[in-house]
Amino acid sequence: MNEKRKSKEQLFQTFARLARALANPHRLELIDLLVQAPRTVEELAREAHMMIANTSQHLQRLKQAHLVTDEREGLFVRYRLADPAVAQLWLELRGVAELQLAEVDRALSAYRPRRHDFEKISIDELFDRMTRDEVVLLDVRPEAEFQAGHLPGAVSIPLDELEQRLEEIPRDKLIITYCRGPYCVFADEALELLEGRGWNVARLEEGVAEWQRAGLILAG
Cα(7)–Cα(208) distance, integer angstroms: 39
Residues 6+ away with beta carbon under 8 Å from 12: none
- Count the Cβ atoms, other than its own, within 10 Å of residue 210: 17
Cα(40)–Cα(63) distance, integer angstroms: 14
Contact between 91 and 210 (Cβ < 8 Å): yes
Contact between 80 and 34 (Cβ < 8 Å): yes
Tell how far CA 175 is from the center of its chain: 20
Q: Which residues are catalytic?
A: 179
Edge to edge, what strands does the sheet with 76-81 contain?
39-40, 76-81, 68-73
Cα(1)–Cα(15) distance, integer angstroms: 20
